[in-house]
Amino acid sequence: MTKNLILILGPTAIGKTRVSIQIAKHFNTEIISADSRQIYRELSIGTALPNAQQLHTVKHHLIHNHSIHEYYNAAHYEKEALEKIEHLFQKNDTVIMTGGSMLYIDVVCNGIDDLPDVDPEIRENLTKRFQNEGLENLRLELKKIDPAYYKTADLKNPKRILHALEIFYTTGKTYSSMLTRKKVNRDFNIVKIGLNTNRQFLHERINKRVDEMIENGLIKEARSVFPYCHLNSLNTVGYKELFLHFENKLTLNEAIERIKRNTRRYARRQITWFRKDKEITWFEPEEVKEIINNIETKLTGVSK
């Protein structure tokens, strides 16, 4: 029997959780999260973790299974996700995966290059440099060391810049030279469903969700992890803006407006990334019946 992984992806705040739960109920299966921040047990409100009722309705996996103090990357996620997928396939022919973390979804579909472990001391030194010097110096260093990767990297993402430098200073080899990008062949079928809507409506949803997060206690949650604000796991929209407020660099209103702005920008990056994948079939988030019919057609070859 062919096993099937159904991916429900799209920009933040589009409604992936609600849709994936409806689809999981239809196929009588469970959900694996592909969210790079919902894995952290200290973060709930700012990561839009499914609420208690949603978690009770359909079992979710790979949420709150790590601490912000642990080093975690896409390679770790690939290993854990594939193990969980294999486990769930023992009792279900179809499993749902949902999220908006582009790299996490990519490694499950296409694999990831086998990179060496980074020297912890090198990581610590580079992290301190980032805290003291900011990102620009490290960007210029990467440009000099590895111009090939510099041309393709997300230069606004400290994690990407730091990791490329970590690899170089650990191995003496450039990060770009280790990226073969050979797509792996998974032993299960993958169906990709994208959710999106018009930009104005999406922006309204984002702004509303940020307001709801504030009402639900995001400020208190952010303050509880503020002592660890130097951790890369907390270099996250919704937290880093409030950290600036706690440091008296922004008013609360300014921090909230910046969360909304940065979330909208992140959503645009997600859409741009996903639009490159021609295997994704796109729907409005309210078109659940159409999504289910599309999935069943792809799985059975029979149109509904």
Tell me the three state secondary structure of residue 92: coil
Render pLDDT for 235-282 as a digit per residue (tens, 0 to 9).
899 999 999 999 999 999 999 999 999 999 999 999 999 999 999 999
Please say whether the beta carbons of 93 and 4 come within 8 A.
yes
CB distance 268 to 202 below 8 Å = no
Confidence of residue 155 (pLDDT cuts 50, 70, 90): confident
* Region(s) of the chain under CATH 3.40.50.300: 4-112+182-300
Query: In sequence order, what are the beta bridge partners of 31?
Result: 60, 96
Query: Which one-letter DSSP state was computed for residue 58?
Result: S
CA 55 – CA 35 distance, rounded (Å) = 15
Q: Say which residue, 19 or 76, is predicted with more confidence.
A: 19
**Which is the CATH superfamily of the domain at 4-112+182-300?**
P-loop containing nucleotide triphosphate hydrolases (3.40.50.300)
Mean pLDDT of 18-44: 97
- Whole-model pTM: value is 0.84
- 3-state secondary structure (DSSP) of residue 235: coil
Q: Cα separation of 295 and 178, whole Å? A: 36
Identify the band that residue 302 occupies on the pLDDT scale cut at 50, 70 and 90. Answer: low
Q: How many CB atoms lie within 10 A of CB 95?
A: 24
- CATH 1.10.20.140 corresponds to the domain 120-178: yes
How far, in Å, CA of 11 to CA of 149, rounded?
26
- Residues 6 or more apart whose Cβ sits within 8 Å of residue 61: 30, 31, 32, 33, 84, 88
- CATH 1.10.20.140 spans which residues of the chain? 120-178
- DSSP states along 65-80: -B-TTS---HHHHHHH
